[in-house]
Amino acid sequence: MPVQTVRTTAEMQQRSEALRMSGKRIALVPTMGFLHEGHLSLMREAKARADVVVVSIFVNPTQFGPKEDLSRYPRDLEGDLSKCESVGVDVVFAPADPKEMYPDGYQTWVEVTDVSKGLCGEKRPGHFRGVATVVAKLFNIVRPYLALFGEKDYQQLQVIKALARDLNFGIEIVGMPTVRDPDGLAMSSRNAYLSPSERERALALSRGLRTAHHLARNGVREVRELVQAVRKELEAAQVREDYVEVVDAETLRSLTTIEPGRPARVLVAGFLGTTRLIDNLAL
Ligand code: AMP
């Protein structure tokens, strides 16, 4: 079956209503397009878990800051559609215009408080408000029983889990492992911005995380020491740090020591030129 493309909110709502009426279980994979293997891994899992897979492709303006890369964010709808088709996606919801999602007079916002604090929430003010709002809208438009997100955007995953739980969406949120290039770089649409030498230096993020993981495995409990190990990698590769933190894996609160039996996560964000990349790893 060729993938079907839906360009308006009204038509998407009609289709999902019809699918629900016929007893079909929908899985939703929200994306901003320029798809790579990371996105496709979510779609394959969606296919295995539901009757119908809906992928949304929407570069959501409300989650970008005024000085961020909204206008140059990479786009390739044709390529994305064939990738979706290759993994058996049924419907791609790609709003033809941001006004489909934010018509004139739009004024309703969703804010997830605690887990949006710190990390990317602090460095990108308003980002998670934009994310939570667009995802809540997508949940209402598509009405899936399951939605899949990547651990690559670890804080975002926690924000969405809180959103689904707190607003009683009744949607299961599935987090999927980060897909990496063979050399360890986490796949990201933004990797397309990197020059060959920046691409090489960007390996410092995953290398730093692996070093921290290794140290923790070998009994290092002091967060300061773990963070220092990541910083050392960033500095050596001249990656400008945005943040390096070790947090409780669930609440995302900063830790000073890690303890056995209490899941912790190390998260990093850094700049290669103007390109901002993030990555994280369980400790
Ligand atoms: P984006 O298009 O960047 O908004 O990402 C859409 C979804 O794909 C989000 O749930 C991301 O966390 C997920 N994703 C992005 N990159 C990866 C990756 N390398 N591995 C797994 N999931 C990813």
pLDDT tens for 202-241 read: 999 999 999 999 999 999 999 999 999 999 999 999 999 9
Closest-lying ligand 1 atom to the alpha carbon of residue 148 = 10
Measured distance CA(267)–CA(252) in Å, rounded: 10
**What single-letter amino acid sits at 184?**
G
Measured distance CA(182)–CA(35) in Å, rounded: 18
Q: Give the pLDDT of residue 19.
A: 97
C-alpha dihedral (166, 113, 110, 132), degrees to nearest 10: -80
Does the annotation mark 213 as catalytic?
no
Nearest alpha-carbon partner for 181 in 170, 171, 192: 192
Nearest CA to ligand 1 atom 17: 38
Nearest alpha-carbon partner for 134 in 62, 28, 225: 62
Closest-lying ligand 1 atom to the alpha carbon of residue 39 = 8
Q: Give the pLDDT of residue 24.
A: 98
Q: Give the pLDDT of residue 282.
A: 97
Measured distance CA(60)–CA(111) in Å, rounded: 16
Indicate the average pLDDT of the chain. 97
Give the Å distances, CA to CA, from 50 to 11, 19, 45, 111, 138.
21, 12, 9, 29, 17
More reliable by pLDDT, 22 or 261: 22
CB atoms within 10 A of CB 82: 12
Q: Give the pLDDT of residue 16.
A: 97
Ligand 1 centroid–CA 149 distance in Å is 7
Measured distance CA(145)–CA(152) in Å, rounded: 22
Query: What are 62-90's pLDDT values in tens digits?
Result: 999 999 999 999 999 999 999 999 999 99
Query: DSSP code of 135?
Result: H
Which residues lie with the beta carbon below 6 Å from any ligand 1 atom? 31-32, 38-39, 41-42, 149-150, 152-153, 176, 178-179, 186-189
By most ligand atoms within 8 Å of CB, the mutation choice from 93, 153, 267 for ligand 1 is 153
257: helix, strand or coil: strand
In the chain the domains, ranked by start, together with CATH numbers, are 4-176 (3.40.50.620), 189-277 (3.30.1300.10)
Measured distance CA(40)–CA(38) in Å, rounded: 5
Query: Is the whole-model pTM more than 0.85?
Result: yes
Measured distance CA(103)–CA(134) in Å, rounded: 13
Tell me the percentage of the chain whose pLDDT exceeds 70.
100
Tell me the percentage of the chain whose pLDDT exceeds 90.
99
Q: Averaged over 26-46, what is the pLDDT? A: 98
Query: What are 149-162's pLDDT values in tens digits?
Result: 999 999 999 999 99
Q: Give the pLDDT of residue 71.
A: 95
Q: Give the pLDDT of residue 166.
A: 98
**What single-letter amino acid sits at 240?**
R
To which residue do tokens 């980060």 refer? 178
Measured distance CA(70)–CA(245) in Å, rounded: 26
Residue 39 has pLDDT above 80, yes or no: yes
SS (HEC) of 14-71 = HHHHHHHHCCCCEEEEEECCCCCHHHHHHHHHHHHHCCEEEEEECCCHHHCCCCCCHH
By most ligand atoms within 8 Å of CB, the mutation choice from 34, 42, 280 for ligand 1 is 42
For Cα atoms 78, 67, 245, give the angle at the middle one, nearest 5 degrees: 95
Residue 28 has pLDDT above 90, yes or no: yes
Q: Give the pLDDT of residue 1.
A: 76
Closest-lying ligand 1 atom to the alpha carbon of residue 150 = 12
